[in-house]
Amino acid sequence: MVEMREPEDLLREATLRVTRPRIAVLEAVRNHPHADADTITGVVRAELGGVSKQAVYDVLAALTDARLLRRIEPSGSPARYEARVGDNHHHVVCRSCGGIEDVDCAVGAAPCLHASDDHGFTIDEAEVIYWGLCPACTAQKDLQLEDPTRSE
């Protein structure tokens, strides 16, 4: 299991000030991987009380810029955040319910994929999103195929 370092230590190492909102956002993202900003705002407000949505957005941006969080943007979905950074993993997204799960690197070391033409870029990350149906949605679809009158 990956060692979870203290948020205060991570912030100091990234040369960011240690503040209650930053700690709360880091912990919220750790406890709710792939959550969107609204969900994270709700979790942070439950912990700290009156914190503005803009403050949470600002903290998310600062932590993402510092590479303490990763922002992913599946098509048709709001941006999502996760604390699993630095390993260049990928994601699988359910087309029906929007659920997201991590998928380890496709092949080899980061960036996992090699561009046919890098156009002179120094590539350090590749993003792959697999799309499909999660097990629960697949089972629901199978039930509906068996009994078309069933709505749930």
Closest Cα to residue 85, out of 6, 28, 16, 29? 29
Tokens standing for residue 137: 């949605």
As annotated, the binding site includes: 94, 97, 134, 137
Q: Is the peptide bond before 111 cis (omega within 30 degrees of 0)?
A: yes
Give me the sheet containing 129-132, strands edge to edge.
100-103, 90-94, 129-132
What angle do the packed helices 37-48 and 20-31 form, to 10 degrees?
A: 120
Domain regions of the chain by residue span:
1-85, 87-152
Q: Is the dihedral of CA 101, 93, 63, 59 positive or negative?
A: negative
pLDDT digits (tens, 9 = 90+) for 75-94: 888 999 999 988 878 889 99
Q: Please state the pTM of the whole predicted model.
A: 0.79
Query: Which CATH architecture does the domain made up of 1-85 adopt?
Result: Orthogonal Bundle (1.10)
d(CA 99, CA 79): 13
What angle do the packed helices 53-65 and 37-48 form, to 10 degrees?
A: 110
Task: With a cut of 50, say whether residue 61 has pLDDT above it.
Answer: yes
SS3 25: helix
Which residue in the block uniquely carries the two structure tokens 């407000």? 45
Mention the CATH class of domain 87-152.
alpha beta
Region 14-20 average pLDDT: 93
As annotated, the binding site for Zn(2+) includes: 94, 97, 134, 137
d(CA 39, CA 100): 15
pLDDT digits (tens, 9 = 90+) for 18-46: 999 999 999 999 999 999 999 999 999 99
d(CA 111, CA 134): 26
Residue 122 is predicted with a pLDDT of 82
